[in-house]
A and B are shown apart, each in its own frame.
Chain A
Protein backbone atom coordinates (compact mmCIF):
# COMPACT_ATOMS: atom_id res chain seq x y z
CA UNK A 1 0.00 0.00 0.00
CA UNK A 2 1.06 3.54 -0.63
CA UNK A 3 1.09 5.95 2.25
CA UNK A 4 2.47 9.34 3.23
CA UNK A 5 2.99 10.27 6.86
CA UNK A 6 3.51 13.79 8.09
CA UNK A 7 3.86 13.33 11.80
CA UNK A 8 3.93 17.02 12.62
CA UNK A 9 0.37 18.28 12.67
CA UNK A 10 1.21 21.84 13.60
CA UNK A 11 4.45 23.77 14.08
CA UNK A 12 5.03 27.30 15.35
CA UNK A 13 8.34 29.07 15.03
CA UNK A 14 9.47 32.63 15.38
CA UNK A 15 10.32 34.50 12.22
CA UNK A 16 13.88 34.00 10.93
CA UNK A 17 14.19 30.60 12.54
CA UNK A 18 14.81 27.56 10.38
CA UNK A 19 12.15 24.88 10.33
CA UNK A 20 12.06 21.35 8.94
CA UNK A 21 8.88 19.59 7.92
CA UNK A 22 9.09 15.82 8.00
CA UNK A 23 7.67 13.43 5.45
CA UNK A 24 7.89 9.65 5.45
CA UNK A 25 6.44 7.61 2.63
CA UNK A 26 5.64 3.96 2.00
CA UNK A 27 5.56 2.18 -1.32
CA UNK A 28 6.81 -1.06 -2.80
CA UNK A 29 7.12 0.48 -6.23
CA UNK A 30 10.55 1.36 -7.54
CA UNK A 31 9.38 4.20 -9.74
CA UNK A 32 7.56 6.97 -7.97
CA UNK A 33 7.43 10.71 -7.52
CA UNK A 34 7.40 12.77 -4.38
CA UNK A 35 5.95 16.24 -4.11
CA UNK A 36 5.62 19.13 -1.73
CA UNK A 37 2.74 21.57 -2.00
CA UNK A 38 1.96 24.73 -0.06
CA UNK A 39 -1.64 25.63 0.69
CA UNK A 40 -2.07 29.20 1.93
CA UNK A 41 -5.34 30.36 3.51
CA UNK A 42 -6.78 31.06 0.05
CA UNK A 43 -6.87 27.29 -0.48
CA UNK A 44 -5.08 27.13 -3.80
CA UNK A 45 -2.34 24.51 -3.89
CA UNK A 46 1.06 25.88 -4.77
CA UNK A 47 3.45 23.38 -6.29
CA UNK A 48 6.90 23.49 -4.69
CA UNK A 49 8.85 20.50 -5.95
CA UNK A 50 8.64 17.14 -7.67
CA UNK A 51 11.29 14.49 -7.20
CA UNK A 52 11.52 11.12 -8.91
CA UNK A 53 12.69 8.03 -7.11
CA UNK A 54 15.90 7.78 -9.10
CA UNK A 55 17.15 11.20 -8.19
CA UNK A 56 18.33 11.37 -4.60
CA UNK A 57 20.13 14.64 -4.97
CA UNK A 58 19.15 17.22 -2.45
CA UNK A 59 17.72 20.40 -3.87
CA UNK A 60 17.89 24.00 -2.83
CA UNK A 61 15.69 26.76 -4.12
CA UNK A 62 16.24 30.04 -2.36
CA UNK A 63 15.27 29.57 1.27
CA UNK A 64 13.77 26.17 0.56
CA UNK A 65 15.67 22.90 0.57
CA UNK A 66 14.69 19.27 0.34
CA UNK A 67 16.43 16.19 1.66
CA UNK A 68 15.47 12.95 -0.09
CA UNK A 69 16.71 9.78 1.61
CA UNK A 70 15.53 6.51 0.09
CA UNK A 71 17.21 4.52 2.85
CA UNK A 72 14.77 5.97 5.37
CA UNK A 73 11.92 6.66 2.92
CA UNK A 74 11.94 10.29 3.87
CA UNK A 75 11.60 13.51 1.92
CA UNK A 76 12.02 16.35 4.37
CA UNK A 77 11.55 20.01 3.63
CA UNK A 78 13.48 22.81 5.31
CA UNK A 79 12.70 26.50 5.25
CA UNK A 80 15.66 28.64 6.18
CA UNK A 81 15.18 32.07 7.76
CA UNK A 82 11.43 31.66 7.86
CA UNK A 83 9.12 34.55 7.09
CA UNK A 84 5.54 35.27 8.07
CA UNK A 85 4.49 34.67 4.46
CA UNK A 86 5.61 31.07 4.83
CA UNK A 87 2.67 30.45 7.14
CA UNK A 88 0.50 27.85 5.44
CA UNK A 89 -0.33 24.18 5.38
CA UNK A 90 2.30 22.09 3.65
CA UNK A 91 1.49 18.76 2.06
CA UNK A 92 3.88 16.01 1.11
CA UNK A 93 2.53 13.70 -1.59
CA UNK A 94 3.39 10.51 -3.45
CA UNK A 95 2.60 9.32 -6.97
CA UNK A 96 3.46 5.76 -7.93
CA UNK A 97 4.10 5.37 -11.61
CA UNK A 98 1.75 2.98 -13.31
CA UNK A 99 -0.88 3.17 -10.57
CA UNK A 100 -3.34 5.34 -12.45
CA UNK A 101 -1.26 8.40 -11.59
CA UNK A 102 -3.09 8.89 -8.32
CA UNK A 103 -1.43 11.39 -6.02
CA UNK A 104 -1.64 10.38 -2.39
CA UNK A 105 -1.38 13.23 0.07
CA UNK A 106 -0.12 13.26 3.62
CA UNK A 107 -2.30 14.89 6.25
CA UNK A 108 -0.37 18.11 6.06
CA UNK A 109 1.61 20.20 8.50
CA UNK A 110 0.20 23.56 9.52
CA UNK A 111 3.08 25.99 9.86
CA UNK A 112 2.76 29.20 11.85
CA UNK A 113 5.52 31.75 11.53
CA UNK A 114 5.25 34.20 14.38
CA UNK A 115 6.45 37.79 13.92
Chain B
Protein backbone atom coordinates (compact mmCIF):
# COMPACT_ATOMS: atom_id res chain seq x y z
CA UNK B 1 0.00 0.00 0.00
CA UNK B 2 0.91 3.62 -0.32
CA UNK B 3 3.03 5.18 2.38
CA UNK B 4 2.88 8.63 3.85
CA UNK B 5 5.61 9.69 6.21
CA UNK B 6 5.81 12.49 8.73
CA UNK B 7 8.86 14.06 10.25
CA UNK B 8 9.54 14.42 13.05
CA UNK B 9 7.48 11.79 14.83
CA UNK B 10 7.68 13.83 18.00
CA UNK B 11 9.06 17.20 18.97
CA UNK B 12 9.39 19.22 22.15
CA UNK B 13 9.88 22.94 21.81
CA UNK B 14 9.87 26.00 23.99
CA UNK B 15 7.04 28.46 24.02
CA UNK B 16 7.51 31.18 21.44
CA UNK B 17 9.53 29.13 18.98
CA UNK B 18 8.36 27.80 15.61
CA UNK B 19 8.16 24.17 14.62
CA UNK B 20 7.99 22.69 11.14
CA UNK B 21 6.36 19.33 10.45
CA UNK B 22 6.84 17.57 7.12
CA UNK B 23 4.40 15.27 5.36
CA UNK B 24 5.65 13.24 2.43
CA UNK B 25 3.94 10.85 0.07
CA UNK B 26 6.58 8.25 -0.68
CA UNK B 27 5.26 6.38 -3.69
CA UNK B 28 2.70 8.61 -5.33
CA UNK B 29 2.19 12.23 -6.21
CA UNK B 30 -0.36 14.04 -4.11
CA UNK B 31 -1.87 17.26 -5.40
CA UNK B 32 -3.90 17.47 -2.23
CA UNK B 33 -2.86 16.86 1.35
CA UNK B 34 -4.79 17.43 4.54
CA UNK B 35 -3.69 18.43 8.02
CA UNK B 36 -5.51 17.28 11.12
CA UNK B 37 -5.07 18.01 14.80
CA UNK B 38 -6.01 15.62 17.56
CA UNK B 39 -6.10 16.63 21.21
CA UNK B 40 -5.84 13.89 23.83
CA UNK B 41 -8.86 11.62 23.91
CA UNK B 42 -10.55 13.56 21.16
CA UNK B 43 -11.25 13.04 17.52
CA UNK B 44 -9.32 14.25 14.51
CA UNK B 45 -10.23 17.75 13.46
CA UNK B 46 -9.40 18.94 9.98
CA UNK B 47 -7.27 22.07 10.09
CA UNK B 48 -6.61 22.77 6.45
CA UNK B 49 -6.48 21.42 2.93
CA UNK B 50 -3.16 21.85 1.20
CA UNK B 51 -3.07 22.05 -2.60
CA UNK B 52 0.16 21.87 -4.52
CA UNK B 53 1.11 25.22 -5.99
CA UNK B 54 -1.65 27.21 -4.35
CA UNK B 55 -2.65 28.58 -0.99
CA UNK B 56 -4.03 26.26 1.61
CA UNK B 57 -7.69 26.35 2.54
CA UNK B 58 -8.20 26.63 6.28
CA UNK B 59 -11.15 25.40 8.27
CA UNK B 60 -13.17 27.85 10.26
CA UNK B 61 -11.47 28.83 13.48
CA UNK B 62 -7.95 27.83 12.40
CA UNK B 63 -5.51 30.72 12.39
CA UNK B 64 -3.76 30.77 9.04
CA UNK B 65 -1.01 33.05 10.31
CA UNK B 66 -0.23 30.68 13.11
CA UNK B 67 -0.36 27.44 11.15
CA UNK B 68 1.54 28.04 7.94
CA UNK B 69 1.13 25.43 5.27
CA UNK B 70 3.35 25.07 2.24
CA UNK B 71 2.74 22.47 -0.44
CA UNK B 72 5.73 23.20 -2.63
CA UNK B 73 5.94 19.88 -4.44
CA UNK B 74 3.71 16.96 -5.33
CA UNK B 75 5.21 14.84 -2.58
CA UNK B 76 5.75 17.29 0.26
CA UNK B 77 3.58 19.49 2.41
CA UNK B 78 4.83 21.27 5.50
CA UNK B 79 2.99 22.64 8.50
CA UNK B 80 4.77 25.30 10.52
CA UNK B 81 3.41 26.15 13.94
CA UNK B 82 4.61 29.68 14.53
CA UNK B 83 5.20 31.15 17.97
CA UNK B 84 4.04 27.94 19.57
CA UNK B 85 2.29 27.99 22.91
CA UNK B 86 1.47 25.16 25.31
CA UNK B 87 -2.11 25.07 24.00
CA UNK B 88 -0.71 24.09 20.60
CA UNK B 89 0.54 20.84 22.10
CA UNK B 90 -1.27 18.17 20.17
CA UNK B 91 -0.96 15.24 17.79
CA UNK B 92 -0.76 16.45 14.20
CA UNK B 93 -1.65 14.03 11.43
CA UNK B 94 -1.46 14.55 7.70
CA UNK B 95 -3.09 12.65 4.89
CA UNK B 96 -2.29 12.60 1.20
CA UNK B 97 -4.77 12.00 -1.56
CA UNK B 98 -3.59 9.58 -4.21
CA UNK B 99 -4.28 10.27 -7.91
CA UNK B 100 -7.17 9.01 -9.97
CA UNK B 101 -5.47 5.75 -10.90
CA UNK B 102 -5.50 4.91 -7.20
CA UNK B 103 -9.13 5.91 -6.83
CA UNK B 104 -8.25 9.10 -4.97
CA UNK B 105 -7.64 7.11 -1.80
CA UNK B 106 -6.41 9.08 1.16
CA UNK B 107 -3.47 7.73 3.11
CA UNK B 108 -2.63 8.92 6.58
CA UNK B 109 0.78 9.62 8.01
CA UNK B 110 1.85 8.22 11.38
CA UNK B 111 1.42 11.56 13.13
CA UNK B 112 3.67 14.04 14.90
CA UNK B 113 3.34 14.62 18.61
CA UNK B 114 4.12 18.23 19.49
CA UNK B 115 4.75 19.28 23.07
CA UNK B 116 5.28 22.95 23.80
CA UNK B 117 6.83 23.72 27.18
User: Which A residues contact B (CB, under 8 angstroms)?
Assistant: 37, 42-45, 47, 50, 91, 95, 100-108, 110
Residue of B nearest to A108 (CB): B43
Contacting residue for B110 out of A44, A100, A108, A110, CB 8 A: A44
- The complex places the Cα of A101 from the Cα of B104 at a distance, in Å, of 9
Q: Count chain B residues whose beta carbon lies closer than 8 angstroms to a beta carbon of A.
A: 23
Contact B108 A43 (CB under 8 A): no
- Known contacts A43-B110, A103-B34, A103-B106: does B93 contact A91 (CB below 8 Å)? no
Nearest first, the 4 A-B pairs at minimum CB distance are A44-B110, A45-B108, A107-B43, A43-B111
Contact A102 B34 (CB under 8 A): yes
A sample of 26 inter-chain contacts (CB < 8 A) reads A37-B108, A43-B38, A43-B91, A43-B93, A43-B111, A43-B113, A44-B108, A44-B110, A45-B44, A50-B105, A91-B44, A100-B49, A100-B57, A101-B32, A101-B97, A101-B104, A101-B106, A102-B49, A103-B106, A105-B43, A105-B44, A105-B45, A107-B42, A107-B43, A108-B43, A110-B41
A-B contact count (CB 8 A): 44
Give per-residue flags for B36-65: 1 if the beta carbon is below 8 A from chain A beta carbons, else 0: 001001111110010000000100000000
Smallest CB–CB gap between A88 and chain B, Å? 13
Residues of B within 8 A of A106 (CB): 43
Interface centre among A45, A91, A108 (most CB of B within 10 A): A45
Residues of B within 8 A of A37 (CB): 108
Give per-residue flags for B95-114: 1 if the beta carbon is below 8 A from chain A beta carbons, else 0: 10100000011111011010
Smallest CB–CB gap between A39 and chain B, Å? 9
Residues of A within 8 A of B108 (CB): 37, 44-45, 47
Contacting residue for B46 out of A91, A103, A110, CB 8 A: A103
Smallest CB–CB gap between B10 and chain A, Å? 10
Contact A45 B32 (CB under 8 A): no
Smallest CB–CB gap between A48 and chain B, Å? 12
Residues of B within 8 A of A45 (CB): 44, 93, 108, 111
- The complex places the Cα of A108 from the Cα of B44 at a distance, in Å, of 9
